């Protein structure tokens, strides 16, 4: 049924009759694809000279027929029929089948043994409403004054007269010579901490990465570190500027149903309570404890800051409704000719927000830019590179993937990274597309994070060959490098790069369409940006697949540490200084 729908969709698009035949006979289909792509070479499109690092010069061009294919993929995936591609919905079934059929048609091999899909075990946890948190003499209402949830797979969470300690930023970072937990035992206790990191607060370029957020500034890190320290509960004090989003985003993201991965120990090694405090709540509690919040915040940015017991106790109970289900990651590979066990990976998350009922009406979040545009980009490049390999096979294996549940916390990517089909040591690089520029071409390419890996140098050289410059993320304080699927691979040591142009060329996108029902496909999209960016990404892929070099991490980080354990022979590159830029903006996603 699903396959039939896929074929019909392709059949009725006049320019893809070739594609249809590839669904029926895969061998000749592959040849047809190759001929289609070959025919396109030399047409008016973006061409790139080869990079110096590659052993075999390579050029990837994106032709008009590539763009026609792209348009078919993006308009299909973003159509109402796909119901906003919500994990565990009918939209997931349609999307996953569409992807699997597309990979098969391209002649890609399954990435997971004999399967194109990898099951991702998810728990769906809904905390009870009407929570109340008692801190000292005051009791606060859940939602407006605080949020609390858990990822432990347990029915009830109880915090009773737990000691509360202010731990500054809650950071333990040996490479920055910083430990907010030094000499402190927080076992079973409640820790209160600030959002972001001391570099952002002080704007001191010598503290952490200055204004640019490090991973130590992300809320995910703060919960992880508190768990390593043995704390029972964490409350992060919300402030709009350092968080990068308002309280409404915190409340929405933490009060409702959330998905989580489930480990062998029912996530019991995580903290019991993952909480946030509204700034007013924090001020009230600090005042009651005879502490000056503003002064302590200042102190917390100073090296050698000592945690402060707050002389109040915390109490909170809530229960959880938990259901279990499996979602699917999808991936296919084009095996390399001489180094098949070394993988160069191109990825885009397939999931979006699904649909919901509002006032008796069904609202579908089609997620056309976020991230049907990226998935269509991966499929289009897969088609292009498969055709290229018919002429000259790539030395290394190319993997093309689409993972689930990115929007709910990089869950599919995290599961893949921790349960990889090949050792992470054999993964050469992971390139991630999350939101393409569907409008006109631009004379720059956006880069997220700075000074992390040598992939940034490849990006810069490839962009320069296109006559483009690299433009650094204008909002480094929002830490976008830590907020899309490539980060899950980076944490396992795999050099990774993010390609994101979420509304960069459309000033109204973030305000009116991002994560809203109006992120729809528009026939008026010119795809100039898609054409130049796919040429750039394809060229990088091609060079990585034919070169002998392994990209390396530069700046000291946990990613680099992990890689050096995985691949001790890998050369270590020097530390690269960063120059952060300042800009203020809301990022609606937490």
Q: What is the binding site for Zn ion (CB under 5 A)? A: 370-371, 434
Do residues 32 and 48 make contact, with C-beta atoms less than 8 angstroms apart?
Answer: no
- Rounded to a whole number of angstroms, the minimum distance from the CB of residue 559 to Zn ion is 21
- Rounded to a whole number of angstroms, the minimum distance from the CB of residue 493 to Zn ion is 23
Burial 338-370 (b: 16+ CB within 10 A, else e): ebbebbbbbbbbbbbbbbeeeeeeeebbbbbbb
Closer Cβ to Zn ion, 223 or 365, answer by number: 365
Closer Cβ to Zn ion, 272 or 435, answer by number: 435
- Rounded to a whole number of angstroms, the minimum distance from the CB of residue 406 to Zn ion is 6
Closer Cβ to Zn ion, 275 or 412, answer by number: 412
- Rounded to a whole number of angstroms, the minimum distance from the CB of residue 513 to Zn ion is 13
- Rounded to a whole number of angstroms, the minimum distance from the CB of residue 340 to Zn ion is 31
Sheet strands (E) in 335-463:
339-347, 355-358, 361-364, 396-402, 427-433, 444-447
- Rounded to a whole number of angstroms, the minimum distance from the CB of residue 216 to Zn ion is 23
What percentage of the chain's residues is helix, strand, coil (to nearest 5)?
35, 25, 40
Residue 352 backbone dihedrals phi, psi, to 5 degrees:
-140, -155
In DSSP terms, 498 is beta-bridged to 432
Closer Cβ to Zn ion, 138 or 515, answer by number: 515
- Rounded to a whole number of angstroms, the minimum distance from the CB of residue 489 to Zn ion is 16
Closer Cβ to Zn ion, 104 or 352, answer by number: 352
Q: Considering only CA atoms, which of 406, 317, 376 is closest in space to residue 128? A: 317
Write the DSSP assignment of 456-480 as a string of letters.
Answer: HHHHHHHHHHTT-EEEE-S-GGG-G
Q: CB atoms < 10 A from the CB of 590, how many?
A: 17
- Rounded to a whole number of angstroms, the minimum distance from the CB of residue 432 to Zn ion is 10
**What single DSSP character describes residue 453?**
B
- Tell me the two tokens of residue 219: 């809320």
Closer Cβ to Zn ion, 370 or 395, answer by number: 370
Residue 140 backbone dihedrals phi, psi, to 5 degrees:
-115, 150
Closer Cβ to Zn ion, 120 or 194, answer by number: 120
- Tell me the two tokens of residue 536: 């750039």
**What single DSSP character describes residue 205?**
T
- Rounded to a whole number of angstroms, the minimum distance from the CB of residue 590 to Zn ion is 13
Closer Cβ to Zn ion, 434 or 533, answer by number: 434
Q: Could you tell me the CA-to-CA distances from 430 to 107, 424, 485, 488 in Å, in that order? A: 21, 11, 10, 10
Do residues 481 and 244 make contact, with C-beta atoms less than 8 angstroms apart?
Answer: no
In DSSP terms, 398 is beta-bridged to 334, 344
Q: Considering only CA atoms, which of 458, 421, 453 is closest in space to residue 343? A: 421
In DSSP terms, 329 is beta-bridged to 118
Distance CA 266, CA 88 (A): 21
- Tell me the two tokens of residue 127: 């905390």
Closer Cβ to Zn ion, 66 or 434, answer by number: 434
Closer Cβ to Zn ion, 63 or 371, answer by number: 371
Q: With the CA atoms of 503, 507, 511 and 512 taken in that order, what torsion angle do they form, in degrees rounded to the nearest 10? A: -80
Burial class from Cβ neighbours inside 10 Å (0-12, 13-18, 19+) for residue 183 reads exposed
- Rounded to a whole number of angstroms, the minimum distance from the CB of residue 516 to Zn ion is 13
- Rounded to a whole number of angstroms, the minimum distance from the CB of residue 86 to Zn ion is 14
Closer Cβ to Zn ion, 197 or 370, answer by number: 370
Distance CA 357, CA 342 (A): 46
- Tell me the two tokens of residue 504: 């960069």
- Rounded to a whole number of angstroms, the minimum distance from the CB of residue 371 to Zn ion is 4
- Rounded to a whole number of angstroms, the minimum distance from the CB of residue 482 to Zn ion is 14
Closer Cβ to Zn ion, 101 or 351, answer by number: 351
Closer Cβ to Zn ion, 241 or 511, answer by number: 511
Q: Considering only CA atoms, which of 376, 370, 407 is closest in space to residue 519? A: 370
């Amino acid at each position: 049924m699903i396959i039939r729908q896929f074929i019909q969709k392709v059949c009725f698009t006049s320019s893809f009759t070739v594609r249809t035949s590839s669904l029926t006979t895969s061998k000749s289909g592959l040849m047809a694809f190759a001929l289609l792509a070959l025919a396109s070479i030399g047409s008016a499109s973006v061409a790139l000279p080869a990079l110096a690092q590659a052993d075999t010069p390579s050029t990837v061009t994106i032709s008009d027929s590539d763009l026609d294919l792209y348009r078919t993929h993006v308009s299909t995936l973003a159509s109402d029929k796909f119901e906003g591609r919500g994990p565990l919905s009918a939209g997931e079934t349609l999307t996953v089948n569409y992807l699997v059929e597309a990979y098969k048609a391209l002649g890609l091999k399954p990435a997971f043994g004999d399967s194109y899909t990898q099951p991702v075990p998810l728990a769906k946890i809904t905390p009870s409403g009407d929570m109340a948190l008692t801190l000292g003499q005051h009791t606060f209402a859940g939602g407006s004054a605080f949020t609390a949830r858990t990822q432990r797979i347990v029915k009830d969470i109880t915090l009773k007269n737990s000691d509360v300690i202010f731990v500054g930023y809650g950071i333990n970072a040996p490479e920055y010579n910083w430990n907010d937990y030094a000499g402190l035992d927080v076992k079973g206790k409640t820790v209160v901490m600030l959002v972001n990191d001391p570099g952002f607060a002080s704007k001191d370029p010598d503290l952490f990465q200055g204004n640019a957020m490090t991973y130590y500034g992300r809320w995910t890190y703060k919960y992880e570190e508190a768990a390593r320290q043995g704390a029972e509960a964490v409350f992060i004090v919300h402030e709009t500027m350092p968080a990068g989003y308002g309280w409404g985003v915190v409340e929405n993201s933490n009060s409702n149903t959330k998905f989580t991965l489930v480990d062998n120990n029912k996530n019991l090694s995580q903290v019991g309570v993952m909480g946030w405090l509204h700034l007013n709540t924090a001020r009230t509690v600090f005042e009651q404890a005879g502490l000056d919040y503003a002064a302590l915040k200042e102190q917390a940015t100073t090296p050698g800051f000592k945690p402060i017991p707050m002389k109040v106790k915390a109490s909170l109970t809530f229960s959880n409704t938990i259901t279990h289900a499996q979602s699917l990651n999808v991936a296919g590979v084009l095996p390399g000719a001489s180094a098949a066990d070394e993988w160069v990976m191109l990825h885009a998350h397939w999931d979006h927000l699904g649909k919901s009922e509002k006032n008796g009406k069904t609202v579908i979040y089609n997620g056309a830019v976020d991230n049907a545009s990226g998935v269509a980009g991966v499929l289009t490049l897969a088609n292009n590179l498969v055709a290229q390999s018919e002429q000259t096979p790539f030395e290394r294996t190319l993997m093309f993937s689409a993972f689930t549940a990115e929007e709910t916390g990089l869950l599919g990517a995290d599961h893949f990274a921790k349960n990889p089909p090949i050792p992470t040591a054999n993964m050469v690089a992971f390139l991630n597309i999350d939101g393409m520029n569907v409008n006109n071409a631009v004379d720059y390419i956006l880069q997220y994070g700075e000074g992390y890996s040598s992939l940034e140098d490849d990006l810069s050289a490839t962009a320069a060959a296109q006559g483009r410059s690299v433009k650094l993320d204008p909002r480094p304080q929002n830490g976008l490098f830590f907020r899309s699927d490539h980060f899950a691979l980076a944490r396992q040591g795999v050099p990774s790069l993010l390609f994101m142009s979420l509304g960069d060329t459309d000033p109204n996108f973030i305000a009116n369409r991002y994560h809203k029902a109006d992120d729809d496909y528009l026939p008026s999209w010119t795809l100039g940006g898609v054409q130049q960016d796919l040429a750039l990404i394809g060229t990088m892929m091609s060079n990585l697949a034919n070169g002998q070099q392994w990209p390396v991490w530069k700046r000291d980080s946990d990613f680099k540490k992990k890689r050096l354990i995985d691949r001790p022979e890998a050369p270590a590159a020097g530390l690269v200084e960063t120059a952060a830029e300042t800009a203020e903006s809301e990022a609606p996603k937490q």
